[in-house]
Amino acid sequence: MKHLRIFLLAVLLFSVGISHAQISAYINGKPVKTGATISPKDLASLEVSFKNPKKLSAVYGKSVLSIDILDAQNKNQGFWFLQKDGTVAVEDFLENTPATKKFRVFEDKDMLHGTSDLKLTFLNAAGQESCKMLQVKIALIYREKTGYNQYAQAISLLEPVVLNVPVWDTKNLYLPIADLRVDKSNISGDFSLRESSQQNAQRIQWYELADKHNYRYTVCAISSDDHQGMNAKELAADFIHEAALYAAQDYGARFSNYDIGKYTIPWDDINRLKSEYKRIPSLDWKKNKEIKKMDLMDMYQPVEINGLKGYTFKSDAEVRSSKGDKWQDNGKFVIYVLNHPTNPKLTLVLTTSLYNEATNVEEMDAFLKNIINGIKHS
């Protein structure tokens, strides 16, 4: 009986020790359990602590307290970490860090982060189907050093903690870069965030989508804060005159009734307009001398779709391999320039790319209209 009591006591003590070996997560200062659902706003307050990690028989490597944000395909969307290298530093960190020590994850104080901060992680996640629900995985691992900048497979020192973060809702997707709310139920593909690469123009961000043929579409918003006096008519005028300039490949020419330097919209990034090898032939004044004199706004068709008023323009597109080659047919092109439903400072652009090589203008037009019809007014 005495031996049995000793055995049971040993088991109890072992179980207590194991139960107290853990990673702890805190949201707004309060502990949360693994599997908890956390809002993106509350996640910013995340703190973590740990106690009683697995004992290592020998230390020659590095330990990492890591926080990874993973999508539905288990792809990393952002990571934060606290790393200790070398025998003394690792042993001190694992053995002497108080269980009461809370590491603040997203404040750039206790931890380093990778290429994306938390705000950008959520910006990129909006409209990405795999990022509708993200997981936050908190782990403490050790990796033995096996050579110069070479490490063995990671060993988990404590059971990881996983938190669930719902990022966006299909019926009410918010696209912050365009300040739009969209019902995405009938919109296929992802809204992928992109940024202008233009160095001498106003840098902007936009959303890129792809259809079943992998043809590219752009949704963006141009602000009057960046371009004084901007509205749907002004933006439509800027595009059609830039398109005419590049259709003739006569970059030094001037219009008699329009200042081509009024705005600096990076159309080349938005729809690949500014190219020596792509163009909209219907705007070439070398074929139609009236282009320079006429009101190019007459080339547009006024529209109102889903309560949004503006302009649309559809045309053939052409391509050539080099400056000396003849222009060849290269599909169709569609653009919509519309008033914003809720923000009077913004003007919406929904456009195809001149690089699409698509021949069915109705199909591309329908894809863009589908997005427009999904835009919410509140």
- Mean pLDDT, the chain, as a whole number? 90
Q: What is the mean pLDDT of residues 296-304?
A: 97
Q: What is the pLDDT of residues 180-216, one digit of tens each?
A: 999 999 999 999 999 986 555 567 899 999 999 999 9
- pLDDT value, residue 202: 62
- pLDDT value, residue 11: 40
CA distance 88 to 108: 25
Amino acid, single-letter form, for residue 164: N
Strand partners, 144: 61
- pLDDT value, residue 253: 66
Of 327, 321, 319, 320, give the one whose Cα is nearest residue 286: 327
Q: What is the pLDDT of residues 61-109, one digit of tens each?
A: 999 999 999 999 999 999 999 999 999 999 999 999 999 999 999 987 8
- pLDDT value, residue 4: 43
Percent of the chain residues topping a pLDDT of 70: 92
- pLDDT value, residue 14: 42
- What are the tokens at 182? 């969209």
Percent of the chain residues topping a pLDDT of 90: 75
Q: What is the pLDDT of residues 130-144, one digit of tens each?
A: 999 999 999 999 999
- pLDDT value, residue 276: 86
Write down all domains in the chain, each with its CATH number in brackets: 23-168 (3.90.280), 171-374 (no CATH)
Based on the number of CB atoms within 10 Å of its own CB, is 169 exposed (0-12), middle (13-18) or buried (19 or more)? exposed
pLDDT band at residue 16, thresholds of 50, 70 and 90? Answer: very low
Q: Which of 22-36, 42-56, 94-108, 252-266 has the lowest mean pLDDT?
A: 252-266
Q: What is the pLDDT of residues 139-159, one digit of tens each?
A: 999 999 999 989 999 999 999
pLDDT > 60? residue 285: yes
CA distance 294 to 283: 11
Q: What is the pLDDT of residues 214-225, one digit of tens each?
A: 999 999 999 999
- What are the tokens at 313? 């323009």
DSSP one-letter code for 257: S
- pLDDT value, residue 302: 98
Q: What is the mean pLDDT of residues 227-248?
A: 94
pLDDT band at residue 286, thresholds of 50, 70 and 90? Answer: confident
Q: What is the pLDDT of residues 338-368, one digit of tens each?
A: 999 999 999 999 999 988 888 899 999 999 9
pLDDT > 80? residue 335: yes
Q: Cβ neighbours of residue 320 under 8 Å, at least 6 residues apart?
A: 277, 326, 327, 328
- pLDDT value, residue 196: 80
- pLDDT value, residue 288: 81
- pLDDT value, residue 275: 83
Angle subtended at Cα 176 by Cα 173 and Cα 180, rounded to the nearest 5 degrees: 55
pLDDT > 50? residue 314: yes
Task: State which of 18-22, 53-57, 356-360 shows the largest mean pLDDT.
Answer: 53-57
pLDDT > 80? residue 20: no
pLDDT band at residue 294, thresholds of 50, 70 and 90? Answer: confident
